[in-house]
């Protein structure tokens, strides 16, 4: 039943998460964070998302139902990174996995875990800082 609910929520969610090209990496990140905030602060999403992720290891049908949403998210992040590489803002070998964690993690932590707010000024600051992190992600660590 939870799997049906998740499947039913997936289509509109996927449609929501496509702000498209905003002209720069930082602007693309800000647009993605705006969309992410709209999604994560929805009371239904905020209240069930942690439980869904907790239940996944115990319920394969749930993992299956969430896959289209996860794949859509990965595709959008990939498109955002590819646009930045095409613009010359990022090196082609940028760390895509760390980029995804840095884009999603701080917002998820603030809104879903802590249940706190994040206004537009703070989102803009987060986009600015995340862009700097991603730009540094093409460099190999020591």
Q: Which spans of this chain sit near its own copies (rule: CB under 8 A)? A: 47, 50-51, 53-54, 56-57, 95, 97-98, 101-102, 104-110, 113-115, 121-122, 124-137, 139, 141-142
C-alpha distances in angstroms, 101 versus 12, 66, 89, 141?
23, 18, 19, 17
CB of 65 to its own copies, least distance (A): 16
Q: What is Dmax (Cα atoms) for the chain?
A: 48
∠ CA 32-37-78, nearest 5°, is 25
Toward its own copies, which CB reaches closer, 82 or 101? 101
Length of the chain: 142
C-beta closer to its own copies: residue 9 or 29: 29
Instruction: State the nearest-atom distance from the C-beta of 111 to its own copies, in Å.
Output: 10
Q: Name the minimum Å distance from CB 115 to its own copies.
A: 6
Contacts of 13 (CB under 8 A, 6+ apart): 39, 69, 72
Is the Cβ of residue 79 or residue 135 nearer to its own copies in the bound state?
135
């Amino acid at each position: 039943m939870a799997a049906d609910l998740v499947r039913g929520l997936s289509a509109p969610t996927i449609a929501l998460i496509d702000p498209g090209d905003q002209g720069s990496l930082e602007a693309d990140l800000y647009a993605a964070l705006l969309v992410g905030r709209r999604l994560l602060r929805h009371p239904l999403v905020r209240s069930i998302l942690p439980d869904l992720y907790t239940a996944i290891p115990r319920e394969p049908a749930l993992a299956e139902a969430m896959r289209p949403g996860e794949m859509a998210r990965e595709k959008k992040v990939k498109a955002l990174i590819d646009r930045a590489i095409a613009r010359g803002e990022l090196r082609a070998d940028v760390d895509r996995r760390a980029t995804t964690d840095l884009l999603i993690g701080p917002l998820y932590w603030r809104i879903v875990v802590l249940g706190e707010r994040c206004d537009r000024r703070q989102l803009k600051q987060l986009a600015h800082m995340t862009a700097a992190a991603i730009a540094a992600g093409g460099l190999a660590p020591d």
